[in-house]
Amino acid sequence: MASTADIKNGVVIKIDGQLWSVVEFQHVKPGKGGAFVRTKLKNVVSGKTVDKTYNAGTKIEVENVDRRDYTFLYNDGESFVFMDVADYDQINVSIATVGDAANFLLENQQVQIALNNGNPLYVEMPASVVLEITYTEPGLQGDRSSAGTKPATLETGYEIQVPLFVEAGTKVKVDTRTGDYLGRVN
């Protein structure tokens, strides 16, 4: 068991059987009364954010979370198979745990996986990835970058909005957090 003095950004604590990551914290010592710690916590699995206040010296349960680099190998239909970059061990990660990251995963893609006691908690993608557009409607003569957007299908099967001048076969940079088009890549 640890105390509130051990709270730092990025520390994962266990509350009522769920894992919460500390997004930000503040030690407060008012002029009157006891000191306390104000925290903003993010649920590791669901991503929900809550504010929680602890009295100074309160015991908390700190969990060990190991973030390791993995390479995506393939999807076997029931789970995604990743290989540890350091020791070449393979792990299966459920489709629910991978979540939205599946929209941007290609074979040999480098990702970080957070593990707690050997169980994968979530898959962390790079901020942006380069993917090829496999299908989009052809742009019309006179279409300019400020004219609007059209749907385009990426090589992973995910659909994003791109400017009208982008054609099929073009490599584009995509934000993995929002799914937004960031630009063309040569």
- pLDDT tens, position by position, 63-77: 888 889 999 999 988
**pLDDT tens across 82-109, in order?**
999 999 999 999 888 888 888 999 999 9
Position 147 pLDDT exceeds 90: no
pLDDT score recorded for residue 144: 59
**101 HSE (CA, 13 A, CB side):** 24
Is 119 buried (19+), middle (13-18) or exposed (0-12) by CB count in 10 A?
exposed
Residues 6+ apart with CB under 8 A from 71: 82, 83, 85, 108, 109, 110, 111
Q: What is the DSSP letter of 38?
A: E
**Terminus-to-terminus CA distance in the chain, angstroms?**
53
Are the C-beta atoms of residues 1 and 59 closer than 8 Å to each other?
yes
pLDDT score recorded for residue 114: 87
**pLDDT tens across 15-62, in order?**
998 889 898 999 999 998 899 999 999 888 777 899 999 999 899 999
- Residues 82, 118: Cα–Cα separation, whole Å: 14
pTM of the model: 0.72
Position 145 pLDDT exceeds 60: no
Tracing tokens 């008012």 back to the chain, one arrives at 30
Question: What percent of the chain has pLDDT above 90?
Answer: 48
Residue 32 corresponds to which tokens in the numbers above? 């009157």
- Count helices and strands in the chain by DSSP H and E runs: 1, 16
